[in-house]
A and B are shown apart, each in its own frame.
Chain A
C-alpha cells in the first residue's frame, strides 16, 4: 500500500510552514519531501555568501521570492577586515537576474554593493518590492536613484548604517508620482539634504507608509510638516532635533506628535536639545522601542523621558544615562526586553566624567523581569555584580559585556572576571550569544565550555592564557556556530586538535593571535570542506611555517575555494605545490 502523501497535499501542508529551520528538517525526511519543499520555498536565507554558489541556490529554490545574504565576518564592523576582502553582491544579483527574475525582496548584510548592482536590480526584477541593505558599502546615491525610478511596486527601501558615496540628495526626487506603494523608507545614514517638497509629496501619496527614518539633514521644522502628512507612522526616525524654533512652530510640532496614535518606535534624535524633550512626552506611553543612542542629552532629561515609557521593550541609550538613570529605567520600564548602552566617548568617560559601572546593569536586572538581551559598555565591573545579574535573570539569551579597558580586573577585588562569567553561563541556560571582556584566564573558558551548551555565538578579545582556552570552547560548546577571537595569545594546538568541530560551525575568526602559517597549511590539507583563509598583509610564500599569521577566517563551504580573493588573502589553493611529504602527514 502506497503510504506516500500526494505532493499536492504535501505542498498544501508546507504552505503553512514558514520557519526555515522547520523547512530544513522537512527537506531531510526523504527525497520526495526534499523535492516538494524546495519547489515551494519562497524565502531563502544564506548566512555566508561563500558557503554556497548563487547558481546552486537558484537551482534548488526556483520559486524564490525573497533572498537574504550575509557577506563579511562580524568583525568587519570594527575595521578588522581589510578593504577588498570580498563579499560582493554582484555575482548573486547577476545569477538571480537570469534564474529568478520574479525575485521581489533582497536583504543584504555586510556586502559590497555597487551602483551596477543596484542598476541591475532595477532593470531585472519586474516586481521588485523590498531592498534592505545593512552595513553595506560600495554604492552611491546614483544607485539609489536607479532603484527609485524603476521599481514601480517598491514597498521598502532601507539603508541601515551603510557607507554610501553621497553625491547629493537628488536621488529622492526620482521616485515617480505614480509610486504609491511605499511602506518603509530609511535613509538615516545619508548625509546630504533631500528636497523637502519632494519628500513631502512622496509621503502624502504613500497611504501605507508605516516606517520613516530621516537623515540628520532633515530639520526640525521639516519634521513637523512630515508628521502632519503621516500621522499613521508606526516607526519614526527623526532628523536633527536641534534647530531653534519659535513658539508657534514648537506648539505645532507638539500637536503633530500628539496626533501620532500608532507610533511604537522612535529613533534619530540627533543633537536633541533638552528643551525639546517634552515634545516627545505624548508618544512615550505607546513606545515599545526607543533609540536614544545618538541623543547627547544628560541624565536628568533622559530620566524625564523614560519615566513616561512604561511599555518600552527595547532601549538603546548612551552612557550619559549613568547608573542613576538606569535605576529609573528599572522602576519605570517593566516590560524591558533589550537594553543597549553605548559609550559616548572613546575612553568610556563622558562629558560629566561620570563613568558607567556595574551598578546600572544590576538595577535593570533586578527591576525588569523580561530582560533577555544586553549590550553594555562600561568602565568597570565586578564578579559579584555578574553573579547577582545571573541570579536575577536566568532568562538571559544574549549577554555582551564590554569593559572598555582591556584586561581590566574586578575593580573591587582585582581578581579576574572568571567567576562572574561562570555564573552567567551556569545560570542562564538558554544563553545563545556571549561577548566577554575584562581580565580573564583560561578558567573562564573552562566554565564556558562546561556550561554554555546552547551558546551559538561567542566573541572574545584580549583574554586567556594558553591554547586551553580555545580547546575548552571548541570541545565543550556543543551548539557553537560562530566564534570570533582577537588578540589572544595562542592558536595552533587547540585548533588542530579540534579541527573536526570547525565543520559543524558556520565560521571561526582569529586575528592577532598566535596561529602559525604551518598550522593553517595543515588544517587546509586535512579539511577540504573548509575554506581556510589567511588574511595577511605580508607575502606568505616565503614565510617559515612557525611564523604567526595576522588573521585567519575559516568557514565551511560547499562552493569550494572562492574565485574573487584579493592578493592579501591566501588559501592553500594558491600553493598547491605544498607537498604532503613536507608536512609528513599520512
Chain B
C-alpha cells in the first residue's frame, strides 16, 4: 500500500517536469484515416488550439504550432470512435457519392486492403494448403523447405499419414502420393501472386517460393480441366522469364 509520504518522495525522485507543455510530448498520433494504423507519424498532444473551428478559451500553453496545419477530427487515429467495419462503410459511402462505379470498386479494394494491413495477420513463410475433398486445410512453412521433394514429402505426411493425437484427414489412402511426377491420383498446384493456378514444379524452387500464394492438392482429373479453363500452365511457364 503506497502512503502519501512515500508518494512525495517518489515524486521528487522522479522529477516529472510535465505540464501542459505541448511541444515536448510524444503522445498523439495524427494520421489520415486508412493510413498508417497505430504506428503513424509521431505527433504531439492535441489541445483545443488544434481545432480552430471551435471557439475555445482554453488556457493552454503558448507553445507555437507554427507550420503545423491543424488536424481535422477525421485525421486523428481512432476518432470519431466508431468501429472499423462502420468506418469502412462510411469511406465507401463517401466514395460512391463522389466517384463513379468503377472507381468505387477500387476504393472498396483499397479499404479492404488497408483493413487487412491494419488488422490482418500473415505468418511469414507459412502458406495455406488445401486438398480436394478435405475441408480442413493446413499451413506449411515454405522457409523450412529447401526443395520440391522436401515440400512434397511434408504434404504427404500432413494429409496421408496420421500421427497419434491428430485427426486423420483422409485416412483411406494408403499408397504414397508422388505428387510431383504425375503418376498419382493427385497433383500439386499453386496460386501465384497474379491469381493464376499453376502446376508446381516447373520453375526453380527459389522463384517458386517468392511467387506462391497458396497450395492446392488437386485431383489429377480436375487439373486437366484447370489447364483448359485457364491458360495452359506449361504454355504460361514457357512465356515466363526464367
A interface, CB within 8 angstroms of B: 75, 77-83, 112, 114-116, 119, 122-123, 135, 137-138, 140, 142, 145-146, 148-150, 161, 163, 165, 174, 189, 191, 293-294, 296, 342-348, 351, 377, 402, 404-409, 414, 439, 459, 461-462, 486-487, 489, 492-493, 496-497, 499-500, 511-514, 516, 518-519, 522, 526, 537-538, 545-548, 550, 583-586
Q: Which of A115, A342, A461, A499 contacts B79 (CB 8 A)?
A: A461
**What residues on A are CB-neighbors of B81 within 8 Å?**
77-78, 402, 459, 461
B90 lies within 8 A of A135 (CB): no
CB distance from B17 to the nearest CB of A (A): 6
B interface, CB within 8 angstroms of A: 1-2, 4, 6-7, 9-11, 13-18, 20, 25-29, 33, 37-39, 45-48, 51, 53-58, 72-74, 76-87, 89-91, 93-94, 97, 112, 115-116, 118-121, 128, 130, 135-137, 139, 167
**What residues on B are CB-neighbors of A406 within 8 Å?**
46, 48, 51, 54, 73, 76, 79
B80 lies within 8 A of A404 (CB): yes
The answer to whether A78 and B14 touch (CB under 8 A), given A83-B119, A112-B121, A294-B89, is: no
A80 lies within 8 A of B38 (CB): yes
A404 lies within 8 A of B121 (CB): no
Q: Which of A116, A122, A149, A343 contacts B139 (CB 8 A)?
A: A116
A414 lies within 8 A of B16 (CB): no
The answer to whether A82 and B38 touch (CB under 8 A), given A500-B1, A519-B14, A585-B6, is: yes
**What residues on B are CB-neighbors of A342 within 8 Å?**
82, 86
The 6 closest A-B pairs by CB, nearest first: A78-B78, A512-B27, A149-B135, A346-B74, A407-B48, A518-B14
Q: Which of B39, B78, B90 contacts A344 (CB 8 A)?
A: B90
B121 lies within 8 A of A149 (CB): no
Complex Cα gap A461–B53 (Å): 18
CB distance from B189 to the nearest CB of A (A): 15
Q: Which of A439, A461, A546 contacts B15 (CB 8 A)?
A: A546
Chain B residue with Cβ nearest A350:
B93
Complex Cα gap A344–B94 (Å): 9
**What residues on B are CB-neighbors of A546 within 8 Å?**
14-18
CB distance from A494 to the nearest CB of B (A): 11
CB distance from B208 to the nearest CB of A (A): 21
A439 lies within 8 A of B48 (CB): yes
Chain A residue with Cβ nearest B94:
A345
16 pairs from A and B in contact (CB 8 Å cutoff): A77-B81, A79-B77, A80-B78, A83-B118, A114-B121, A116-B139, A123-B167, A163-B84, A189-B85, A191-B112, A407-B54, A492-B14, A546-B16, A584-B13, A585-B6, A586-B6
CB distance from A424 to the nearest CB of B (A): 19
The answer to whether A526 and B90 touch (CB under 8 A), given A79-B77, A165-B120, A346-B74, is: no
**What residues on B are CB-neighbors of A83 within 8 Å?**
37-38, 118-119, 121
Chain A residue with Cβ nearest B46:
A487
Q: Which of B1, B2, B14 contacts A516 (CB 8 A)?
A: B14
The answer to whether A79 and B37 touch (CB under 8 A), given A145-B135, A346-B90, is: yes
CB distance from B162 to the nearest CB of A (A): 12
B1 lies within 8 A of A405 (CB): no
Given contact pairs A145-B135, A492-B18, A585-B9, a sample of 5 additional A-B residue pairs in the complex whose CB atoms are under 8 Å apart: A116-B139, A406-B76, A409-B56, A489-B45, A585-B6
Chain B residue with Cβ nearest A145:
B135
Complex Cα gap A462–B28 (Å): 11
Chain B residue with Cβ nearest A162:
B85
B27 lies within 8 A of A513 (CB): yes
The answer to whether A496 and B51 touch (CB under 8 A), given A75-B78, A163-B119, is: no
**What residues on A are CB-neighbors of B130 within 8 Å?**
142
Complex Cα gap A140–B129 (Å): 13
Chain B residue with Cβ nearest A519:
B14
**What residues on B are CB-neighbors of A511 within 8 Å?**
27
Complex Cα gap A405–B81 (Å): 11
B78 lies within 8 A of A163 (CB): no
**What residues on B are CB-neighbors of A584 within 8 Å?**
9-10, 13
The interface centre, meaning the residue of A81, A115, A514 with most chain B CB atoms within 10 A of its CB, is A514
**What residues on A are CB-neighbors of B55 within 8 Å?**
409, 414
CB distance from A461 to the nearest CB of B (A): 7
B57 lies within 8 A of A81 (CB): no
**What residues on A are CB-neighbors of B118 within 8 Å?**
79, 83
Complex Cα gap A408–B53 (Å): 9
Complex Cα gap A414–B20 (Å): 22
B121 lies within 8 A of A526 (CB): no
The answer to whether A550 and B73 touch (CB under 8 A), given A78-B78, A409-B56, is: no
**What residues on A are CB-neighbors of B25 within 8 Å?**
514, 548
CB distance from A67 to the nearest CB of B (A): 22
Complex Cα gap A366–B74 (Å): 32
The answer to whether A77 and B83 touch (CB under 8 A), given A123-B167, A583-B10, is: yes
**What residues on B are CB-neighbors of A149 within 8 Å?**
135-136
Q: Which of A409, A461, A516, A550 contacts B54 (CB 8 A)?
A: A409
A405 lies within 8 A of B53 (CB): yes
**What residues on B are CB-neighbors of A345 within 8 Å?**
90, 93-94
CB distance from B1 to the nearest CB of A (A): 6
Chain B residue with Cβ nearest A138:
B121
Complex Cα gap A236–B169 (Å): 36
Complex Cα gap A125–B94 (Å): 45
**What residues on B are CB-neighbors of A142 within 8 Å?**
128, 130, 137
The answer to whether A407 and B58 touch (CB under 8 A), given A82-B38, A82-B39, A146-B135, is: yes
A492 lies within 8 A of B16 (CB): yes
A405 lies within 8 A of B135 (CB): no
CB distance from B77 to the nearest CB of A (A): 6
**What residues on A are CB-neighbors of B85 within 8 Å?**
161, 189
A407 lies within 8 A of B47 (CB): yes
Q: Which of A80, A137, A174 contacts B135 (CB 8 A)?
A: A174
B14 lies within 8 A of A377 (CB): no
Complex Cα gap A414–B57 (Å): 9
CB distance from A137 to the nearest CB of B (A): 5
Chain A residue with Cβ nearest B89:
A294
